[in-house]
Structure 1
Amino acid sequence: MLDAAGPEAIEVHARALAVGARLATTLVVTGYPAEVTAGWLAPLLNFPGHLDIALHIEPVPNPVAAAGLKKQRARLESGRRAGYDKGHLDDPEEEAAAADAAELAYRIARGEGKLFHVALYLTVHAPDENSLAEQAAAVRAIAESLLMTVAPTTYRALPGWLATLPLGIDTLKIRRTFDTAALAACFPFISPDLPTATGSDGEAAGVLYGLNAVSGTPVLWDRFAQDNYNSITLARSGAGKSYLAKLELLRLLFTGITASVIDPEDEYVRLAETVGGHVVALGADGVRLNPFDIPPAAHSGEDMLTRRVLFLHTFLAVLLGADLTAAEKAVLDRAILAAYTRVGITSDARTWTRTPPHLSDLTTVLEEDGSQAAADLADRLAPYTAGSHAKLFNGPSTAAATGHLVVFALRQLPDEVKAPAMLLALDAIWRQVTSRPAVGRHLVVVDEAWLLMRDGAGARFLFRMAKAARKYWTGLAMVTQDADDVLTSPLGRAIVSNAATQVLLRQAPQAIGTISENFHLCHGEKEFLLSASRGEALLLTGDRRHKVALISVAAPGEHEVITTDPGELAGQYTDDGVGIAGDLAADDEGWAP
């Protein structure tokens, strides 16, 4: 039995072994970098060839460690004083070593750490000498890129091979001393790949986000298999956040989900037109949503009139650009109820199907109230009832929010009214989600979410939506480039904490501190986000157990549909010679591999 487990023969050479029909050579790690992060040995684990890695650990008793550190500190201090007496300049490396030894000695004395003897050996296998030399050179290059120093086991090839067998025997004993924190950075030998989610049929679920930046394997992620279905995507302008959001949306549509999009810059219009979706261009002639519309009750017994009045308070606060005082809220509440009463809508559910009032009806009630607060509110609403923005919100609804993909395109709206228009569109989406008869997955994408997050009432609406979406098998995908509007407010942080899928692309140096603090990033992850190319992203899960660096990739057909790069779109023309790039956002987020 034992004979069958071993090779038929072993031939020992100076630096290699012939183990059966294959060759093997062992490299010893003799030097380590000064600073590392968790999982720093992962590049070695992902080596594509046959590589055996053995890490031998032997704890050092605290009395022995303390005595050794005492001698080491005395030697370093003696050398420093001798150099000082001779007029030599301080040696920076010696000073750093003395400081490290002193700090380590104090940690051990306080019981905050221990010392370990650690040995790391790498055995490379190949079928012939040339392949072995190439594989060993590749492993050496990876090790040196990690700032490790490696050396071959010359004339000790057999002990080196034995040291990497699963026997737990260190036959070389070429070791270095590690403390607890340094040793912890070597464990666990984690895989850079996410765990693969599987459906009820056992097949891989989710959609392709891109390729793993470390291993090159596909990154499949299913937001609807997480604790909640929400996501947050943060990036600086031009990093490719909208491109990645459109790519995920397009691939999710292939799986049969329905979706709604708030699109401030008309970046999703071509996508909707390609897949047969419905585009609601708010701001265009004759396109309007009436904020006074009462949705049908999703459940019997629901007081939809009261819920509509509460929404109107939120909408008007965003429309007027400031939180209302208690007196203004009281006046407004009376006026809203009076406007509904005048058209025959009361607390009786049978009246909720009647034609609702308009914004001008509310202004009329406020003007008749006679109080100063009511007059001030009427004056502030005048631009939206009889002024330059009257056609946007004043009048009956003329657009329907139905279809497998509905995009609310807001580019034609002035910047001053984009936030209330986004809120009104979100309300229309939410009414559709809560009243849809068919049961199925739904995704709500809010691009440039900072437009709503900077307003308190808008942020509260998004927060409530993020909390309640899961009950309707709906996910809220927020895409924004302004991290401060999201992460510096309690509501913004609460929305992030309710997102099980978190995607970070390239960040500005001014924002990386806030991003790092809120997403608990290590040094290497911060450096990755600061230097990431367009399309490179860090995918995090809400519980922080899994994370992966990826590169988003799109097929040529997908790229043609979702790109908004003006340089690419300028070369695409319709049959009548008019460039289709003319009506699209001139941003720089279109990216292809």
Structure 2
Amino acid sequence: MFLGNKSKSKKPATNPAGTPAATPKSSKAAAKKKAKARAAEAKKAQSVLWYDAITESGVCVLGGGKYSVMLRLSDINYQLATDDRQRELLERYARFFNLFSMGQQLQVTIVNRRLERDTLLGKVLFPEPLHGDAVSVYRSDHNKLVRSMIGESRYSIVAEKYLTLTVSGESLDEALAVLNPLVEQVTNQMWTLLECRAHRVDGPGRIELLRELTRGCYAAGFDYAGMARSGATTRDELAPQAVEFPTRSELVLAGDEGDIWCQTLVLRDYPSWMSDQLFRRLSEVQTDLVISFHISPIDRSESRDLVMRRKAELDMERTDRRRKLVKANMDPEEDLPESLKRSLAEVKDLMHDLDDNDQRLYTTTLVVMVQASSAEELKDRVTKVRQAAKTESCDLAVMKFFQEQGFNTALPLGESFLPVHRTLTSAAVAVMVPFTSQEILDDQGLFYGTNAATGNPIIADRRRTRNGNAFVLGTSGSGKSHFSKWEIAEVLIGRPNDEVIIIDPEHEYRPLADAFDATVVDVHAGSSQVINPFDIVLNTREGDPVRLKAESLLSMLRVLLGGGRGLSAAQESILDRSITTLYHRYLDDQNQPVPTLRSLHGELLLQAEPEAAAIATALEMYATGTFSGFAQQTNVDVSNRFIYYDIAKLGDHMKTFGMMVVLDQVWNRVMSNFGRGIRTWLYVDEFHLMFTNPHALATFLSIYKRARKYGLLPTGITQNVEELLAVPEARLMLSNCDCLFLLGQKKTDADELAVLLGLSDDQIRAFTSVEAGYGLLSFGATTLPFNARKEQSPRGPLLTLLDTTFDDRS
């Protein structure tokens, strides 16, 4: 029977008249007896947790003078890395373990943690206002699509990694004197050696994780102040309602949402050759489990003595067996048992590793705790876990009579309580690499589809990466436009304070612009929509705004008036003087209009130098003549949060100048938004077309280098990867991107990208010979295959808007 309040309450006995039979005195005695029983039951339930206290800073007092802290580890790109990169990471991981001294213990823990579907949906669904707004129809359809892609499963399984460090000390203060610098060293080394982020977990965070494992409770955090007022302890918070041992090999906890059946398995026999895939195989089992690997360094001198004693034992056994074989007229060498020969060879190799390869020895214990809601479910899950281990030639044994010890060994407390261990070298310990499938589940991210390896949603926030710069690369029909439009729509719907700018050379994004009420600017000489290249942002933090603007205008005019020859020094001096004069006049009276090319033409006519007249003559057709489309005041709403520049009709004669005007307008808006604390998202479709324009290319290179500082998230979109990789400036931009979305590619382009980005064969396969919408996503140090396909029948308004594939269905 359970030891908690599991039985149903009974009605009090009554006499024939229907009144209670018990007297008030006997009722008090019964209540007191029940309260005492409950207290005893609660105390017994707490006894299953083998620690003394957890401080608010996250230190676990284990008792016996031992103290531990826990760090949460980010995943690294190990499983999809190249073979050479994997070998390098294993060598670095081995060097990491060599940092620790005897007496310092490590526990690497993988927790398959449940994320409730509703929690995930809460991250990515957009609130729908009661009375609707201009984008309600698209918001509603977006939410339907997201629900469909995340699926109907109640929860998703995510493998989280933790590292628990344990030291000994006479007191908490003495232990902290060792733990605090050790945590700092570990944090630095994990990043330096493995590019793995390690964050110390505080008391509330540690209790939050343990509570899930001991009570099945998913409440966030813990109130230490409330605990102090009530006189309770963390053990009161973490203890289940009751504990039962129905058999010698199972443990049952009475959790908040029902019984939790637990069974702990231990790896008794290690294969002679360990694979680096064991943890991956185990964590891929879609069930609640905890994998804990305990590692205790052995002193170097003691390591050698240990090996020498083992060698002496084996030598004695070999001598004894030889003697017996000779007496039996058998070959003393050939007829030795294979197990003895193997052990002798292992000891020889071990001596070599210790003496020549800077290896150390460690005492290790590996346990796996499986949890379920019933005995039958537990049996099924344990079978799957053991089968997964057997694929790597490992046998996980059930711990009979030791389930309570195994339970506490599996919990990330920092100590092994089992009498089972195996001695391993640094290299063998490093092979037990915990890094498996990466996930991206940012709290404030956008929804990019699902992880093709795990099926979990990808919720990523470009703002959290090093620079937020991005490229979307894919052949025609790979889904790159659909992918880009989806992100744009999510920004427009879900980030009301952010602004979006699109530069489109082929009308691809025009329907999206119309649907979301963008300011549409048709950029060509005869357009009725005008943007003035003289528009200026006065609140820039880059320096003197007039000087900066004059420099920008001079660059444009060199292209417009100088052609391939450029302008003479005298001509540039005259233009610089005239531009500066116009702006100073404007600054003296900002009620007058901003200068224009027409204003500049008039100012040049007032200059005395003969060069000024020549420049004015050259400028005339752009100021008052045929190509004067850029010579008037801006007449479009550039304050709109969504601006769409259509450059499809920009003729060859004005293409370079027109692009420079557009990019200048874009940067003006970025600087204006930066001054107001607003983020800008810039999308440039058919980005490879910019490569023929050296001025545009140089400007984009500058933008990609400076973007993050000014709250800009630029995105280049192109199908022509070959041209992209052929241009040095484009390769620099690509290398300076923390966000890459690689959709379907030709094999030749994929190979080029693999060389530039250091991609493995598995990563290349993620975006070659795949269906539209599949690809490889890279966010900072995280790289994973993704599926952005959206199935909907019939198509809703958002999917219809985003889809550019010809379809003759009604």
| TM-score, length basis structure 1 | 0.65
- Distance in 2 (CA, whole Å) between partners of 1:333 and 1:465 is 25
Q: How do 1:52-71 residues align onto structure 2 when only pairs under 5 Å count?
A: 52-57=290-295, 63=304
**CA deviation map 1:248-276 (0-9, x unaligned):** 22111122122111122322211111111
CA distance in 2, matches of 1:141, 1:241: 40
- The sequence identity of aligned pairs, in percent, is 20
- With over 3 angstroms needed to count, the CA separation of the structure-2 counterparts of 1:5 and 1:185, relative to structure 1, is same
> Is this contact kept in 1: 2:684–2:715, CA < 8 A?
yes
Deviations 1:71-109 (A, max 9, x none): 9xxxxxxxxxxxxxxxxxxxxxxxxxxxx9999998765
**Conserved in 1, the CA contact under 8 Å of 2:561 and 2:567?**
no
Query: Out of 491, 496, 513, which is 1:252 matched to?
Result: 491
Match of 2:392 in 1: 148
Between the aligned partners of 2:393 and 2:649, the Cα distance in structure 1 is 60
**1:449–1:178: structure 2 CA closer, same or farther, 3 Å change rule?**
farther
Partner of 1:333, secondary structure, is helix
SS of 2:247's partner is strand
Q: Is the 8 A contact 1:210 1:553 kept in 2?
A: yes
Amino acid at match of 1:562: L
State whether residues 234 and 503 of structure 1, in contact with CA within 8 Å, keep that contact through their aligned partners in structure 2. yes
The answer to whether 1:192 aligns with 2:430 is no
Say whether residues 1:240 and 2:479 are aligned partners: yes
In the other structure, the counterpart of 1:585 is none
Instruction: Report what 1:406 is aligned to.
Output: 643
Distance 1:133 1:422 in 2: 67
Corresponding residue number in structure 1 for 2:47: 5
Residue 403 of structure 1 aligns to a residue whose secondary structure is: coil
Q: Which residue of 1 aligns with 2:787?
A: 551
Distance 2:654 2:684 in 1: 16
**In 2, Cα distance between the equivalents of 1:63 and 1:486?**
57
- Secondary structure of 1:246's aligned partner: helix
Give the Å deviation of 1:142. Answer: 5.1
Q: Deviations over 1:360-418 (max 9, x none)?
A: 979x99xxx999xx99x97xx9999999xx75966546762342211112334468976
Task: Give the direction of change, closer, same or farther, for the CA distance of 1:113–1:407 in structure 2 (3 Å limit).
Answer: farther
Would the aligned equivalents of 1:240 and 1:534 in 2 still touch at CA under 8 Å?
A: yes
Note the residue ranges of structure 1 that are not aligned, 5 or more in a row: 72-99, 198-204, 573-593
Q: Distance in 1 between matches of 2:773 and 2:538?
A: 43
Q: Greater shift after overlay, 21-30 or 418-427?
A: 21-30
- 1:102–1:492: structure 2 CA closer, same or farther, 3 Å change rule? farther
What residue number does 1:200 align with? none
Quick one: which amino acid aligns to residue 370 of structure 2? Answer: V
Change (3 A) 1:179 1:191: same
Q: Deviations over 1:457-499 (max 9, x none)?
A: 3233224334554555443333344557667777556645765
Greater relative contact order structure (CA < 8 Å, 6+ sep)? 1
For residue 714 of structure 2, give the secondary structure of its aligned residue in structure 1. strand
Shift of the 127–195 alpha-carbon distance from structure 1 to 2, 3 Å rule, reads closer
Within 2, Cα distance between the matches of 1:385 and 1:495?
A: 35
Post-superposition offset of 1:335: 7.1
Q: Do the aligned partners of residues 300 and 449 (structure 1) sit closer, same or farther apart at CA in structure 2, a change above 3 Å counting?
A: closer
1:291-302 superposed matches below 5 A: 292-295=533-536, 297-298=538-539
Asked whether the equivalents of residues 520 and 644 of structure 2 are also in contact (C-alpha less than 8 Å), the reply is yes
Structure index of larger Rg: 2
Counterpart of 1:560 in structure 2: which amino acid?
A: T
Q: CA-to-partner distance for each residue in 1:426-461, whole Å, 9 max, x for gaps? A: 222222343468653332222333333565432332
Verify: 1:441 aligned to 2:712, yes or no.
Answer: no
1:513 CA displacement: 5.7
Aligned residues between the structures:
506
SS at match of 1:53: strand
RMSD value, Cα? 5.4
Distance 1:519 1:43, change over 3 A: farther
Give the aligned partner of residue 19 of structure 1.
Answer: 251
2:47 maps to amino acid: A
Q: 1:468 to 1:152 in 2, by over 3 A?
A: closer
Letter in structure 2 aligned against 1:563: D
Matches within 5 A, 1:262-281: 262-281=503-522
Q: Distance in 2 between matches of 1:106 and 1:455?
A: 62
In structure 2, relative to structure 1, the CA distance for the partners of 1:35 and 1:420 (3 Å cut) is farther
Q: Is 1:311–2:353 an aligned residue pair?
A: no
CA contact (8 A) 1:234 1:483 kept: no
Aligned residue type for 2:447: L
- Name the structure 2 match of 1:124: 370
Deviation readout 1:259-306 (Å, 9 max, x if unpaired): 111122322211111111122233495256567534353469976565
Change (3 A) 1:435 1:480: same
Q: CA deviation at 1:504?
A: 4.2
Secondary structure in 2 matching 1:465: helix
Alignment of 1:115-514 (within 5 A): 120-128=366-374, 130-139=376-385, 148-151=392-395, 153=397, 165-166=408-409, 168-169=416-417, 171=419, 179-180=426-427, 183-184=429-430, 186-188=432-434, 192-194=438-440, 196-197=442-443, 205-224=444-463, 228=467, 230-237=468-475, 238-254=477-493, 255-256=495-496, 257-283=498-524, 286-287=527-528, 292-295=533-536, 297-298=538-539, 306-315=547-556, 328=567, 330=569, 333=572, 336-337=575-576, 345=582, 348-349=585-586, 353=593, 356-357=596-597, 396=632, 400=636, 401-413=638-650, 421-435=658-672, 439-452=677-690, 455-470=693-708, 472-481=710-719, 491-492=729-730, 495=733, 499=737, 501-512=739-750
Distance 1:131 1:504 in 2: 40
Preserved CA contact (<8 Å) 1:289 1:424: no
**Cα gap change, 1:506/1:382 in structure 2, threshold over 3 Å: closer, same or farther?**
farther
Whether contact under 8 Å (1:54, 1:122) holds in the other structure is yes
Letter in 2 for 1:249: I
